[in-house]
């Protein structure tokens, strides 16, 4: 018997009863990726093959060209929540950014001052 005068533990479990997905409508997009080199967290290892390997980490960021584009994105998002958010008493809304072929981490070989 646990504490609390013999009462059993109360446990709750999330049960997903409904899932709704919708893509955002847009005319075109442009990859505006920029590289931000960071100092390595550990020494490169000097001579030898080990010092030539570089782990590169990427992240995805949604950046809008102008205020009109930003407003349109959030208008579509608000319409989605208004249409589907009232169906359940408790709901969870998330946005996901899918980029075809995106890989969060890659290993590269450093050579001649360039990363390949």
What is the reported pLDDT for 47? 46
What is the reported pLDDT for 13? 85
Residue 44: Cβ within 10 Å count: 13
In order of 2, 13, 26, the CA distances from 9 in angstroms are: 8, 13, 50
pTM for the whole structure: 0.56
What is the reported pLDDT for 53? 83
Residue-by-residue pLDDT tens, the chain, 116 positions = 445 556 778 888 888 788 888 888 777 777 777 766 665 555 554 445 556 788 888 888 888 889 999 999 999 999 988 888 877 777 788 888 888 888 899 888 877 655 55
């Amino acid at each position: 018997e646990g504490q609390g005068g013999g009462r059993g533990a109360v446990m709750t479990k999330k049960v997903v009863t409904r899932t709704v997905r919708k893509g955002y409508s847009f005319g075109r997009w442009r990859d505006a990726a920029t590289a931000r080199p960071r100092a390595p967290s550990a020494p490169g290892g000097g001579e030898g093959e080990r010092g030539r390997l570089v782990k590169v980490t990427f992240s995805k960021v949604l950046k809008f060209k102008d205020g009109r584009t930003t407003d349109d994105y959030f208008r579509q998002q608000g319409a989605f929540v208004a249409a589907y958010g009232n169906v359940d008493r408790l709901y969870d809304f998330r946005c996901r950014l899918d980029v075809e072929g995106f890989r969060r981490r890659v290993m590269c070989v450093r050579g001649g001052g360039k990363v390949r």
